[in-house]
Chains A and B, each alone.
Chain A
Amino acid sequence: MLKTTRREWLGLTAAGVRGCSFSRWMTRLACDTEEAAERKRSCILLWMPGGPSQMDTFDLKPEHKNGGEFKEIKTSVPGIRFSEHLPQLAQRMNEMAVIRSMSTKEGDHGRATYLMRTGYLPQGPIRHPTMGSLFSKELARDGADLPNFISIAPFRFLSPAAYGPGFLGPQFAPLVVGAGQPGQTDDVDASLQVENLKLSENVTAAQAGARLQLLEQIETGFRAERPGLAVNSHRSAYELAVRMMQAGGAAAFDLSEEPDELRDSYGRNRFGQGCLLARRLVERGVPFVEVSLSSPDGNGAIGWDTHQNNFPAVQSLSEVLDAGWATLMSDLKERGLLDSTLIVWMGEFGRTPVINGNAGRDHFPAAWSTVLAGGGIQGGQVYGQTSEDGMKVTDKPVSTPDLLATICTALGIDPLRQNMSNVGRPLRIVDPDAVPIREILT
């Protein structure tokens, strides 16, 4: 295709059109991109569909028969130890807060996914928004070149509604990349591209500009006579789409700009490269990015659902996780972005301490772990405790709303803010009974 810079495109557009006024889309775009927006805190959610085993990641019990095969290793913080298969993360423990006392009630994938990702249980007709939609709405920047919520390699199968904007509406839906099914594309780079972000090869830049102006001309009359949400959302979607196309939106997704060495350390798999993409997006001001790790090769299975052969599965997932996540933290830190970026690691529940007859672990919501790291978090600590056999929380239990309220607070969002729901009553971002964990917040 014709390679054209944004400036050239604007120039061509202005020259190429006769008989109609210069599109406001173009002028507005040119002004906005000149101004550097003030940075707010961003969030990267590392989502582990299927439910990762706390007993084999962040809350090992090597003394107990439930402990299993893995050994503990020392971390950079004296006294805190976790899995031997997360050695790089162990070196970053001073930036992480491990919560070992998650305690929830949902042991079904669908309901638990919905609960952890929206903060609420499914309740009849209410369509709860996923946290990316909720938080990015609060953190949104005006005039941004990229969408405020980007979801990388989501595994939506377990609860599709838990991945959507719910009652907030499609304006708050994530831009999804890397959701391709196995076999569709084995090319990690290609799978992480945004579809249709580039002009078709048969359309010149000048022609694209002329088309937009024709569109603007057609829109003007219709829009003026029909004010309201439908027409406005069409306008804002097209504006943002054009903005992404022109302002190097495609470049944000072009991982080939990164040094090979760095790409290798993230791990040459969908999750690792997804973490790298997350860094590039956060660097460009995107306030909420989620990256899912469903299986080591990103082939769309739910690898963390280890009912059988738990240990080899968790080991290979841990290796992918360790490289991607730890490199993400060091990379953010080197760029001075770790303080302004909160990283959240969680799945929908944990796994049974008791090892079943198939050397597996089953669903277990009663006592499990999540991790918060980076911006807004007082690192280097473990919060809460489980019993020696791992069967119950013995100190400082944390509920789903407590966790989400903590995330909100770390991001500078008031968890009690309300949104109007689809059933005609307002709903707070997080259940008002929630108590943020002050001890782990900066």
Chain B
Amino acid sequence: MKRLWMGIFVVVAAANTVGLLHADEVDELAGTIDRHIAARWSEENVVPAPAADDAEFLRRAYLHLTGKIPRVSEVRAFLDDPAPDKRRALVDRLLESPGYIVNFTSVFRSLMIPEAEAEPQFLINVPAFEAWLRVRFADNVPYDETVHELLTTSGSGNDNFAGRNLGPVEPNPAIFYRAKQNKVENVAANVSRLFLGVRLECAQCHDHPFAKWRRQDFWQFAAFFETPAGKIKIPDTDQVVEATYLSGEKAVPPSGTSVRNELATWLTSSENPYFARATVNRLWFHFFGTGLVDPVDDFDADNPASHPELLDELATEFAEHNFDLKYLMRGIVASRAYQLTSRQTDGSQSDPRRFAKKAIQGLTTGQLFDSLAEATGYYESNAERNPLNMNENSERAKFRQLFGNEAGEPANAETTILQALALMNGEFVETATDLEQSTTLAAVVESPFLDTAERVRTLYLAALSRYPSEAELASMVQYVDSGGPSDEPQTALADLFWALLNSSEFILNH
């Protein structure tokens, strides 16, 4: 099955390259970002950090675009490549790789139905929803169309028990409604947060003295999901309200269409001041760890954007480019702000909202697991990878328990004790650093043509996607040659690999 999917991806990917953007448009978008960000630096006497080197950029771009670190061979090839435009070429390649589809399917799934992580019994619905998203990303469907389809789907949101038999899963966007328990108030609250960046739900129960949105606004918006009537009674009152846009305009569907359809059209329209901004902001958050508006779903007069003009321009360009997510990503990743080092070289860089050094982000459970697997050469069977696999003893499931973000929150950059213990003493890392069981380590130890320095370099490339510095190399070669406490150079290499996999440089996206 997986092989079949891969085949489809390849065909789609080939078809898509025809539509590659003109390079200048990407440069222009990156230029827009650079102009606004740099203007604030000079206004506020911020000294930006230097540019990231190739290795730093490579690892970061892989994690953001494909959800895992690069292979040793990819690192070597990229670092050796003398082409001046190799970063741009790398991004183009990654955006057309299956890894991109898998990664953003998972990113948007956890945005749209975070319930799947909080409620184990809901996991059964994940494959159908992911199947739907996967096709969207594989075809690079414009984001407004994706959201329009989500809002107007007529499918059933019932539990997809058909998926149990591991056969083909029917893509099903209606799982979104099932995740919100098919309750109009939950759906309304989530739609406004996700796609408009507005927290209407605070007004669900009563008016707040200083908030812009009133209780009536919330229920008027909720009325869109009370189909076909488009009317709803505000709980504990006798007041019935009709579907009304946040602009205050009542929805008047032409006969034969539903209010839901009207909402989808209004919401995803390029005229809508919220939709493009909210989407741009979410994507910005993905790459920078801080939104231009932050928290990302709190667009409010009291919570202004750090760079309002930049947000507006990005939103306009995004809408004009047919809501093409890849266009936005290309521009962001090509920007100077994205390509800064995460090293802090001046105190003025400490405010994350100045984007004067690259922010350090945590890895999601999936990213950490996939990166460990990549570094250590762990082979995960299809059955283990399947989200329907309820086997709590699979390595991925154990990771989910330990590192899982319970409420589906974005990845947190903080490490917990249990995580530290798992990485230090857990079976997975133990196997990965076991001379007889680890693929990567065995390859490094057993290759007769490698000297100690080359073995150390390979382990650095595998775990940290970079070569060791001269000082690191000298010190680690000395340790390995000494044999460490076990008096065995091979075991000492295992010790080094263990230390690299436990380092914050490995565990974080920086």
Contact = CB atoms under 8 A, between A and B. Distances in A.
Interface of A: 12, 16-20, 123-125, 127, 147, 157, 160-161, 163-164, 169-171, 173, 175-176, 181, 184, 194-200, 202-204, 206-207, 209-212, 214-215, 217-219, 221-223, 225-231, 233-235, 237-238, 240-242, 244-245, 422-424
Given A218-B503, A226-B360, A240 B417 contact: yes
B189 A124 contact: yes
Interface stretch (B86-94, B262-270, B424-432): B424-432
Nearest to A157: B120
Contact of A170 (B415, B434, B476, B502): B415
Interface string B468-508: 01001001101100101110000100011011101111011
Contacts of A219: 503-505
Contact of A200 (B120, B361, B425, B479): B425
B252 interface: no
B504 A204 contact: no
A94 to B, nearest CB: 38
Contacts of A212: 499
B106 interface: no
B144 interface: no
Contacts of B120: 157
29 contacts: A19-B482, A123-B202, A157-B120, A161-B407, A170-B415, A184-B392, A194-B418, A196-B425, A196-B426, A199-B425, A203-B430, A206-B485, A206-B486, A207-B485, A211-B498, A215-B502, A218-B499, A222-B503, A226-B344, A228-B344, A233-B414, A233-B415, A235-B504, A237-B415, A237-B417, A240-B420, A241-B417, A241-B424, A244-B417
A329 B422 CA distance: 34
Interface of B: 118-120, 189, 193, 199, 201-202, 295, 297-298, 303, 342-344, 350, 360-362, 392, 406-407, 409, 412-422, 424-427, 430, 434, 469, 472, 475-476, 478-479, 482, 484-486, 491, 495-496, 498-500, 502-505, 507-508, 510
Given A199-B425, A211-B495, A237-B415, A231 B504 contact: yes
Contact of B485 (A16, A199, A240, A244): A16
A226 B417 contact: no
A18 B482 contact: yes
Given A169-B412, A175-B417, A225-B343, 8 more contacts: A17-B485, A19-B479, A125-B298, A173-B416, A196-B424, A214-B498, A219-B503, A225-B344
Contact of A127 (B199, B407, B418, B427): B407
A230 B418 contact: no
Given A196-B425, A202-B430, A207-B485, A422 B295 contact: yes
B360 A160 contact: no
Given A196-B422, A234-B504, A124 B201 contact: yes
A230 B426 contact: no
B202 A231 contact: no
B479 A127 contact: no
Contacts of A210: 479, 484-485, 495
B484 A16 contact: yes
A91 B343 CA distance: 63
Contact of A160 (B119, B495, B498): B119
A176 B418 contact: yes
A229 B202 contact: no
B182 to A, nearest CB: 16
A227 B342 CA distance: 10
A350 B150 CA distance: 41
B425 A198 contact: yes
Given A160-B406, A200-B425, A222 B505 contact: yes
Contacts of B417: 147, 175, 237, 240-241, 244
A163 B416 CA distance: 15
Closest 4 CB pairs of A and B: A16-B485, A230-B413, A206-B485, A214-B499
B422 A195 contact: yes
A19 B484 CA distance: 10
A258 to B, nearest CB: 24
Contacts of A181: 392
Nearest to A173: B416
Given A225-B344, A233-B413, A197 B425 contact: yes
Nearest to A123: B202
B504 A160 contact: no
Given A215-B502, A217-B475, A230 B360 contact: yes
A194 B392 CA distance: 17
A123 B201 CA distance: 8
A151 to B, nearest CB: 11
A127 B491 contact: no
Given A18-B482, A184-B392, A196 B415 contact: no
Given A161-B406, A234-B507, A423-B298, A227 B413 contact: no
Contacts of A207: 484-486, 491, 495
Contacts of B344: 225-228
Contacts of B415: 170, 233-234, 237-238
B475 A19 contact: yes
* Interface-centre pick from A160, A181, A196, A231 (highest chain B CB count, 10 A): A196
Contacts of A203: 430
Contacts of A241: 417, 420-421, 424
A228 B233 CA distance: 49
Pick from B297, B412, B482, B503 the residue with the most CB of A within 10 Å: B503
Nearest to A18: B482
A195 B421 contact: yes
A18 B479 contact: yes
A162 to B, nearest CB: 10
Contacts of B508: 230-231, 234
B421 A197 contact: yes
A235 B503 CA distance: 9
A127 B407 CA distance: 9
Contacts of B484: 16-17, 207, 210
A218 B500 contact: yes
